[in-house]
Chains A and B, each alone.
Chain A
Amino acid sequence: MNLHYDVPGDDYALAGAASAEVKKNLKLLGIPPELIRKAIIAMYEAEINMIIHAGGGKADVTITPESVRIAMKDEGPGIADIDLAMREGYSTASDEARGMGFGSGMGFSNMKRNSDSLSVISLPGEGTLVEIRIDLKEGSP
């Protein structure tokens, strides 16, 4: 099944609404709890990133008995150096903000840890597409 959500970019109080809906659906489907948790941690992280850095965007989720695929697309500033951004501990937050607990630099590495496949395509100035896949069956591609 396909689910589509518009992620608003201006209200942090609504952050996580799309992942909350997806979570509800995954629970109704009886997906194993630990796989739901992976999918939701990864999607929530992407959703928050989209709100904070890119002014919102769109989330498209495809669920089949084999996998959960999450595509998060924004038209934000993009990421100049994806390899660098993927590195654990990397963050654009200032040292001062980091001292206060922001920008722990766990974003993409956290998504990667909680997914079976993560792809990030970004064009500076045009936007970013993050694709997350969680396999529901062992050994599926």
Chain B
Amino acid sequence: MNGYFHSVALREDKCRGCTSCISTCPTEAIRVRKGKARIILERCIDCGECIRVCPSQAKIADTDPLKAIRDFDYRVAVPAPSLYGQFKVSFSPDHILTALKKLGFDDVFEVALAADYVARELREYAVSSEHLKPLISSSCPAVVRLIQVRFPSLLNHVAKIKSPMETAGRIVRNLIHRDKRNLGIFFITPCPAKRTSIKASLSVEESALSGAIALRDIYVPLRNAMTGLQRPERLAFASGAGIGWAGSDGEAFSAGIAGTLTVDGIHRVIGVLECLENGSLKEVNFIEAMACPGGCVGGPLNAENPSLARSRIRNRAETPGGGNAGAPRFSLDSGFFAWEKTLLSRPVMPLSDNVSNALERLQEADSITAKLPGLDCGSCGSPSCRTLAEDIVRGTAEDTDCIFVLRERIRRLTMEMVELEEKLPPSIAPRS
């Protein structure tokens, strides 16, 4: 696919141009222009931070509505493990999945079960000396995209194993329901980046999934379907460890790799990736990095409070279950999990594609920065004074976008006018 597809979008009518989103964006991908937030598409990694912080709910995730499933003859829901964190533990996974089916699906398949299979593959992948350590988990698509944009030197650390979501989609499409025609497979998503992974995957040529429905969009109907439910079907087969992938540490625990480091929250992830780039994480074998605080339960498209959801996930993960007892059995070899595509960098941060030119611009940006107030107030529409300086040398902003610079210019002009006003041409007689 050409260009950049994104799931994070702006509702212009709701945006008040308040600049809350611009400073939290990890790739400095938002500017306020003409009173509205603009997303720089080349830089956006779909992490959803802006959705989380927007006080006007102007940042939205462009996911599929539930009615999109009607375009398909046979419909399968593949819910993210974080779905189980949205409801009290007194509701069993079977209960939740049966209710989900009632919303119009013919079948359901848990991403948590696919996570059990991915965990096994990951354990073997991590043992192989062919793969550069520490490995970085690829299950959070926002983190993989962050690496493409800001940490291209770390691309070869990324574990090139399909995500539990894509794995679930492939199992449904290629194994369980291969006989179905016009098969629609929908991911029930806590996060916008996952939808981007379906529409513009980094790992596969074409995703097995048909679309993604925001968890919070189906929360109310799902809750209603659950309350009236008497006898749930036997649909849940994931182990506690598989369900645990919804929270941070879950993947690392489930894969059982020695020497893991878990980090959640995109800005803390950046801190860890900086350390890795400096060469200071030699004692670490595996990095589980999740863009959202607390892991996927902290995704902006969840309905429930992230901390409560995480506690429920913990509870469910620790409840001794039957492992995968009774789960459909497949033989999935390494080829099934391997990425089909090469992971490339997205070099959008450099000031120019020519080093000499970039050097000139960088020096200019430094001298502009020195003249700016350094308050990072955001009134210019750029995330910081430094970014404004970079925008100026890139030609996308002017120094008078800074209200302090503008005020100084007006002051100087005023003084000049006062000075001129005092001058009197010889032909005019001074007023008495």
Contacts and interface: CB of A to CB of B under 8 A. Distances in A.
Interface stretch (B7-15, B286-294, B312-320, B348-356): B348-356
A20 B278 CA distance: 9
B279 A45 contact: yes
Of A19, A23, A27, A44, the most chain B CB neighbours within 10 A belong to A27
Interface stretch (B57-65, B358-366, B406-414, B415-423): B358-366
Contacts of A20: 274
Given A27-B350, A28-B349, A30-B350, A44 B279 contact: yes
A30 B280 contact: no
A117 interface: no
A30 B346 CA distance: 11
B356 A28 contact: no
Contact of A30 (B155, B278, B353): B353
Contacts of B201: none
Contact of A34 (B153, B352, B356): B153
A105 to B, nearest CB: 13
A13 interface: no
A16 to B, nearest CB: 6
A139 interface: no
Given A28-B349, A33-B345, A23 B277 contact: yes
B130 interface: no
Nearest to B349: A27
A31 interface: yes
A86 interface: no
B280 A44 contact: yes
Contact of A29 (B155, B280, B358): B358
B152 interface: yes
A28 B277 contact: no
Contacts of B390: 28
Nearest to A101: B283
A72 to B, nearest CB: 15
Given A65-B356, A136-B355, A29 B350 contact: yes
Given A20-B274, A28-B390, A63 B359 contact: yes
Contacts of A4: none
B347 interface: yes
Contacts of A110: 279
Of B278, B353, B362, the most chain A CB neighbours within 10 A belong to B278
Nearest to B347: A30
Contacts of A114: 279
A131 B356 CA distance: 23
B359 A1 contact: yes
Contacts of B274: 20, 23
A30 B355 contact: yes
Contact of B359 (A29, A40, A44, A45): A29
Contacts of A40: 277-279
A129 interface: no
Interface in B332-356: 345, 347, 349-356
A33 B155 CA distance: 10
Interface in B355-379: 355-356, 358-359, 362-363, 365-366
A28 B153 contact: no
Interface in A1-44: 1, 16, 19-20, 23, 25, 27-31, 33-34, 36-37, 40-41, 44
Contacts of A19: 278
Nearest to B279: A41
Contacts of A1: 359, 362-363, 366
Interface string B118-162: 000000000000000000000000000000001011010000000
A94 interface: no
Contacts of B358: 28-30
A64 interface: yes
A16 B279 CA distance: 11
Nearest to B363: A1
A28 B362 contact: yes
B345 A65 contact: no
Contacts of B349: 27-28, 30
A28 B365 CA distance: 11
Nearest to B386: A24
Contacts of B153: 33-34, 36-37
Nearest to A3: B366
A65 B359 contact: yes
Contacts of B347: 30
Given A20-B274, A33-B153, A65-B359, A28 B350 contact: yes
Interface of B: 150, 152-153, 155, 274, 277-280, 283, 345, 347, 349-356, 358-359, 362-363, 365-366, 390
27 contacts: A1-B366, A16-B280, A20-B274, A23-B274, A27-B150, A27-B350, A28-B350, A28-B351, A28-B358, A29-B358, A29-B359, A30-B347, A30-B351, A30-B352, A30-B355, A33-B152, A33-B153, A33-B155, A34-B153, A37-B153, A37-B277, A41-B278, A44-B280, A45-B279, A63-B359, A65-B355, A101-B283
Per CB-CB distance, the 4 closest pairs between chain A and chain B, nearest first, are: A30-B350, A33-B153, A41-B279, A33-B152
